Structure 1
């Protein structure tokens, strides 16, 4: 994309900027339209798995029978076949609501306000204390592990970090929830032990980020900005280690 770069005291200079794509991705289960998310059109199989699990459409990877990606003139259809029992459960949910999500939307289309306060199952006996040195090591690696962000400075990253601080896997998207779903889906597809590391996200952490991670069994997360008060309450409810990295230190909430 053509743009102009201007520095203090200098003249504008023409530059080519790699602008990220943000396209409608329709999530369709066995012909049943479920959600339309604005997302970066990459790693969509991972997104399909992560979204299906974190939104409780299915309970296990084995209940996803197939995934097909279909390009349309104005977006993408993500066609997912699931276990018939889960499809019937989804139909009951669909009778109550429709879900249309922006790239930054994590609560669009909820049935009612009470769903915000559904308890999370504990993910650990006690909240983990992360090693500050390991977190700092991961933060230093993150930018180098985000090829899209290095090109456009416009996307979020969600990283899986093993306990010594090495970044093992990263997924990117214009939406932070989408980036996390892509990461979680990739980890589940690989059969990763979700207790053997932690998630590092390049954004703030709101309550739905905690919910998505905790539902899949992740026990710790670090954000690069502070979490919301509701996210903190949900994390404590689940004995989930919620942290913010700032000024070379980690703060556990």
Structure 2
């Protein structure tokens, strides 16, 4: 059976399903703006403080592009183990504030009990940095990741090259600004099915994984495409989502390679117009 995040079919902007209610309050901010650069005019992306609040408890404040924030809330909450699955979230209220965005999650009673217990441990060592939010101590980095499959995925080179070549078509914000990262999900034959953008590569991946979770899309019947390098947090988040293969357009880090081997995730990179498998 293909692996899935639990399904939550819905439509925007104010979404309602049997699993989670998603509502927006206030005027959404622009995702980019025009500035003067000498005699030229440039478009630059916005970077906005985004606070995640769970049943009134502050969890983290991240900097992110203020788009697809419901997807971001779900993906971040799942990959950072704030919740175990989408059904732990009863509601997502997105409030546009004067100096940022508040994402207010309403968790189930069981989920908030687990959240509070984890917060007590987390608060002993202070706040974690962006991209590895929720880390309780250095040993967390060396916890074994779940194996996504017994047999490592093999993606055809033609499919990898097709996805890499098609990625730009799914990056409208980057087309305007030439500045933001993208994370996409492609079918086994390389067709890009879904993509999300953000100034942070891990944010883009969280948005993508959240969108997949909300749509109930299988996560093991294709591969993730990253416009950037593949670092530790990209592998960790992908492993927790059941992603079996990652294509990055820039080289992975050594730690990412080690963790991908541990999770049995197939890593690929584009080098000299070729798709190259990394690791064993």
Correspondences of 1:152-167 after superposition (within 5 Å): 152-167=177-192
What is the aligned partner in structure 2 of residue 8 from structure 1?
Answer: none
Is 1:176 the counterpart of 2:209 in the alignment? no
Aligned residues of 1:54 and 1:216 also touching (Cα < 8 A): yes
Q: CA deviation at 1:41?
A: 0.4
Deviations 1:53-108 (A, max 9, x none): 0001111111111100011111000001112222122112222335464xxx3225
Q: 1:205 aligns with which of 227, 230, 238?
A: 230
Question: Which runs of 4 or more aligned residues in structure 1 lie more than 4 Å from their structure 2 counterparts after TM superposition?
Answer: none
Aligned residues of 1:222 and 1:244 also touching (Cα < 8 A): yes
Correspondences of 1:93-108 after superposition (within 5 Å): 93-95=118-120, 96-97=122-123, 98-99=126-127, 101=129, 105-108=130-133
Q: CA deviation at 1:15?
A: 2.3
For residues 55 and 192 of structure 1, what CA distance do their matches in structure 2 show? 20
Q: CA deviation at 1:109?
A: 5.3
Q: 2:245 aligns with which of 215, 220, 236?
A: 220
Q: 2:256 aligns with which of 231, 236, 240?
A: 231
TM-score (norm 1): 0.92
Correspondences of 1:9-88 after superposition (within 5 Å): 14-88=39-113
* Aligned length in residues: 242
**Uncovered stretches (5+) of structure 1, i.e. residues with no partner:** 5-11
For residues 114 and 86 of structure 2, what CA distance do their matches in structure 1 show? 16
Compare relative contact order (CA 8 Å, sep 6+) and give the higher one, 1 or 2. Answer: 2
**Uncovered stretches (5+) of structure 2, i.e. residues with no partner:** 1-33
RMSD of aligned residue pairs (Cα, Å): 1.3
TM-score (norm 2): 0.83
What is the aligned partner in structure 1 of residue 116 from structure 2?
Answer: 91
DSSP 3-state at the match of 2:132: coil
DSSP 3-state at the match of 1:244: strand
